[in-house]
Amino acid sequence: MNTVEVKGLVKTFDGHVRARRGRSDQVRALDGVDLAAEPGEYLVLLGPSGCGKTTLLRTIAGLEQPTEGEVLIGGNVVNGLPPRVRQIAMVFQSYALYPHKTVRDNIVFPLRAEGMAREEREKKATWAAELLEIEPLLRRKPRQLSGGERQRVALARALVRDPAVFLLDEPLSNLDAKMRATARDELKRFQERVGTTTIYVTHDQAEAMGLGDRIAVLEHGRVRQVGTPQEVYDDPSDTFVATFIGSPPMNLVKRDGVLVGFRPEHLLPVENVVTEPRLTMPFQVERMEYLSGDRHVYGTITGIGAQTRVIARLPATVATPLEAGETHAFAVPSERLRFFDAESGNRTAPVPIADAAIGDAPPGDAP
Amino acid sequence: MTHARSGPKPAVATAEGRRVKAGLADRDGFLAWVMLLPSVVYIVALVGIPFLLAIAFAFSDVTTGDPSFDFVGFRNFDEIFADGVFWRALRNTLVFTLVSMVLIVLFGKILANILVADFRGKWFVRFLVLLPWTTPVALSTISWLWFLDSIYSPVDWVLRHLGLIDANIVWLGQPGTAMGSVIAVQTWRLTPLAAVIVMAGLVAIPRDIDEAARIDGAGFWRRMFEVTVPLTLPVIAVAGLFGAIMTFTDMTVPYVLTRGGPTHSTDVLASWAYFRGIEGGDVGQGAAIALFLFPLLLAGAIAILRTVRRWEAQ
C-alpha cells in the first residue's frame, strides 16, 4: 500500500483579469498527475517555477481542492477532508513559525490542537528538540533564531505530530549557499533516522539529486519522468528532462528527425575515450571556463548532424592542451548516446551513426 | 603646499555643479518645512489657541452676557465639583466610552473578518459595512431618532408583532434604555472605522501562518484566538484607541438623540460643558468642565500607545 498516491489529478485556476468579464481563461496548474510515494520513501518533486509542484504538494496537504482526480493517503481517499485529519505535516518555504510564540509553544501547538495531555506533550516536545538539537532555544522567540535554527524548529513542529507523511516546500531556499549544503545533509540524515515518507518540492536539481530516493520531474502540470536520481540523469525520458537536469545540460544534436543527446562529461578529447565503440567528431573550441577543477569547453561540433554549439566538461584528470580557435577530435562512447524524437522530444530507438572524420567538414565550410 | 592648493579646488567645483542641478525641491530640509507648515498652522490655530483659551476661561468669570475677563482662581472648579451633574456626566462619559470601545473593537474584528473573506457578492457586503462611516452623522442620527421613537418606532413594531413586548418601549425616555441607545448608535457609527483598521492588520498576516495552523490541526476558534488575534493585537489596540478618543470627546450622538436627558442620565462631559458654557452662558464653568477631558484623554492615549510599543518590542 502506498503512503500517498494521487490519481488523475487536475487543478485549474481562473485567470485573474478575464475571469471577471465572464470569459473563462483557466490555467491548468496540474494536468493529470499520477504519482505514488512508497512507505519511507523520499520523493522529490522537481521542476521549474510555475510547473505545478507546489500546487501538487498543497493539494496533497488539503490546502487546495483538486478540480478532478483523487488524493489517497494511507489508502483512503481524502478529497474534501480538511488538512488536520490527513495525518500530514508540512514545512513551509518561509517556515511559518508563529512569531508571538516561543519555540516550545510553536512545537507543542499541534499537540494542543490534538488535545494531548500537558505532560505528554512536554515529553514529546523535549524529544523532538533533542533530536534536532534545539533544546537551548526552547524559550526563544522565532525572530531571535537564525535561518537554519528556524528550519529545525519548523521540522520539530512537523515531527511531533507523528505524521504519515512530511511535506516540505522548498525548505532550503531561504538559507544562504553555505547553510544550504549543511542543512541538506541534516535533512537527509534526519529523514533516515525518522523513516517517515517525505515529499519534497524544489526547483534546485542539486537538492533533488542529493536528497531524493526518487525524483518526479514536472513541467506544465504534467509528470515528465519518475525515477531514481541516476535514472533521470542517465536515461532522461524526453528532451525536457535531459536539458533541465544536469549542469551544464545535455547536448542535443539534430540529425534526420532525431536528436542525438550526450552529457558534457562524456564528450572528451578522443585520446581520452578508450571504450569502443565510440563516436568521433571534430570540435572547434571557442571558449573555456575553469570551474572547480573542471574545464568547461564551449565550441561547435560538425559531422554527426547539424552544426551545433555544445559544451564539453573535462575533468581535472584530462590534461589535453586545448586552445580557443583550434579544432580537436572529440569522442563520445556510443553507449552514452541518447536518442530523442525531434518532433515530440520523447526517447526513441538508437540510430547507427558513423564517425565523422576530421577534415570531412572543415569548420569554415559548414553550412 | 600642493595639498592645500588641490584640496579646496574640487570642492568648489562640485558645489557649483550642485547649485546648477539641485532646485528647491531637492533640498530635504526646505521640503520638510514646506510640507509640515500647513499642519503646524492648522494645529496651532485650531487646537493650540483654543486649548490655551479654554485654560484661561476656566479661571475667569467670562459669561456670554459679560465677556470681560476677570481672574477668579479656582472658583469655577469649586462650583462644578459641588454640582452633582458634573460627577454624573463624568461617570456617564466613562461608561459611554468604555462600553462603546469594547463593542466597537468586538464588532470591528467581526466585520474585518467579513471584509477580508472571499465570497460571491462581497463588494455589496463591503459597501454595506462601510455605509455607517460614510453617512453624515446628523443624517444618520435622525433616522436613529425615528427607530427609537416612542410611538412610531419600527423596532417596537417588529418586537410587538413578534410578541416579545406588549407596549412600546420609550427607548430615549428611561435612563437605562437611553444610555443603551446612545451606546448602540455610537457603536454603529464607529465600527466601520475599527473594521477597516483591523482589516489592515488581518491582511498583513502572512498566509503561510494561517495555513500552517490549519495543517497543525487548529480549528477556527483556536486559529482565531491563538494566531490571528495575538498577531493583530497592536492594530486592535489602535482601533480601540481611536474608538475611545472619538467617543470620549464626542457629544453628537447624545446631543441629537437625548440632549443629555432624561435628567442628565446621558449627559457626557462634552455635552455638559456645552450646555453649561454655551447654552447656559457660563463660559468659565463650561471651560472648566471641558478641561477634564484633557488629562483623561492624555492618560488613555499614553497607556494604549505604551502597551502597543511593548507588544511590538516582544
Distance from CA of A103 to the nearest CA of B (A): 14
Which residues in B64-102 are b (16+ Cβ under 10 Å) and which e? Answer: eeeeeeeebeeebbebbeeeebbebbbebbeebbebbbe
pLDDT on residue A25:
66
Q: Check if A150 contacts B (Cβ < 8 Å).
A: no
Question: Burial level of B126, CB count in 10 A (0-12/13-18/19+)?
Answer: middle
Within 8 A of B310 by CB-CB distance, chain A residues are none
A/B interface, count of CB pairs below 8 Å: 61
- A63–B222: do the CB atoms touch at under 8 Å? no
Query: Are A114 and B214 inside 8 Å of each other by CB?
Result: no
Q: Which chain B residues are Cβ-neighbours of A99 within 8 angstroms?
A: 209, 231
Q: Which of the four pLDDT bands, split at 50, 70 and 90, describes residue B180?
A: confident
Checking if the pLDDT of B90 tops 80, the result is yes
A244 or B78, higher pLDDT: A244
pLDDT per 10-residue tile (average), chain A, 367 residues: 84 64 69 90 91 91 90 89 88 90 92 89 89 88 88 89 89 82 84 89 90 92 93 93 91 90 92 86 91 90 88 90 89 91 89 65 39
Judge contact between B199 and B238, C-beta under 8 A: no
CA of A70, closest CA in chain B: separation in Å?
19
Chain B contact present for A114, CB below 8 A: yes
Label residue B10 by pLDDT band (50, 70, 90).
very low
The model's confidence at residue B256, banded by pLDDT at 50, 70 and 90, is: confident
Check residue A56 and give its pLDDT: 92
Joined together, the cell numbers standing for residue A201 give 518540492
Interface test with A, best of B207, B208, B214, B215 (most A CBs within 10 A): B215
Which pLDDT does position B69 carry in this prediction? Answer: 77
Contact flag A63-B214 (C-beta cutoff 8 Å): yes
Chain B residues touching A88 at Cβ < 8 A:
215
Residues 225 through 244 of chain B touching chain A, CB cutoff 8 Å? 226-227, 230-231
- At residue B195, φ and ψ (nearest 5 deg) are -60, -40
**Residue B119, min C-alpha distance to chain A (Å):** 14
Please give the residue of chain A at the shortest CA–CA distance from B208: A96
Quick check: B213 and A93 CB within 8 A?
no
Is B215 at the interface with chain A, CB within 8 A? yes
- Across chain B, mean pLDDT equals 81
ipTM of the complex: 0.79
Contact at CB, B208 and A82, closer than 8 angstroms = no
Considering only CB atoms, B216 lies closest to which of A63, A100, A109, namely A109
Q: What percent of chain B has pLDDT over 90?
A: 7
Best mutation target, A14, A92, A95, to test chain B (most B CBs within 10 A): A92
More confident residue, B21 or B314: B21
Q: A358 φ, ψ to 5°?
A: -70, 135
CA distance A140 to chain B (A): 11
Q: Three-class SS of residue A130?
A: helix
Query: Which of B206, B219, B230 is facing A100, going by the closest CB pair?
Result: B230
Q: Are A63 and B230 a contacting pair at CB < 8 A?
A: no
Nearest CA in chain B to A113: B218
Amino acid at B59: F
Residue B78, chain A, CB below 8 Å: the answer is no
| DSSP output for B149-189 | -TTT-HHHHHHHHTTS-SS---TTTSHHHHHHHHHHHHHHH
- The arithmetic mean of pLDDT across residues B133-145, rounded, is 79
Q: What is the pLDDT of residue B294?
A: 84
Q: Which of B208, B217, B314 shows the shortest C-beta gap to A84?
A: B217
Interface of B with A in 174-213 (CB under 8 A): 206, 208-209, 211-213
CA–CA dist B249, B54 (Å, integer): 15
CATH 3.30.70.20 fits A4-234, yes or no: no
| pLDDT computed for residue B281 by the predictor | 77
Chain A residue whose CA is closest to B216: A110
Question: In this structure, what DSSP letter does residue A62 have?
Answer: T
Of all residues in chain B, the one with the smallest CA distance to A154 is: B212
How would you classify the pairing of strands A197-202 and A214-219?
Answer: unpaired
Q: Which chain B residues touch A100 with a CB distance below 8 Å?
A: 230-231, 314
Alpha-carbon gap: A51 to the closest alpha carbon of chain B (Å): 20
Q: What is the pLDDT of residue B1?
A: 40
Which of the listed ranges A247-261, B237-251, B277-291 does the model predict with the highest average pLDDT?
A247-261
pLDDT: which is higher, B73 or A43: A43
Domains of chain B (ranges; CATH) run 84-313 (1.10.3720.10)
| B231 chain-A contacts, CB cut-off 8 A | 99-100
This prediction has a pTM of 0.76
* pLDDT at residue B9 in the model: 46
Hey, which of A163-167, B121-125, B153-157, B161-165 has the most confident mean pLDDT? A163-167
Domain boundaries of chain A, sorted by first residue: 4-234, 249-341
| Cβ-defined contact of B218 to A84 (cutoff 8 Å) | yes
pLDDT at A107: 92
Q: Which residue among A84, A89, A96 sits closest to B208, beta carbon to beta carbon?
A: A96
Residue with more model confidence, A59 or B152: A59
Give the CATH superfamily of A249-341. Answer: Nucleic acid-binding proteins (2.40.50.140)
Cα–Cα distance, B163 to B157 (Å, whole number) = 10
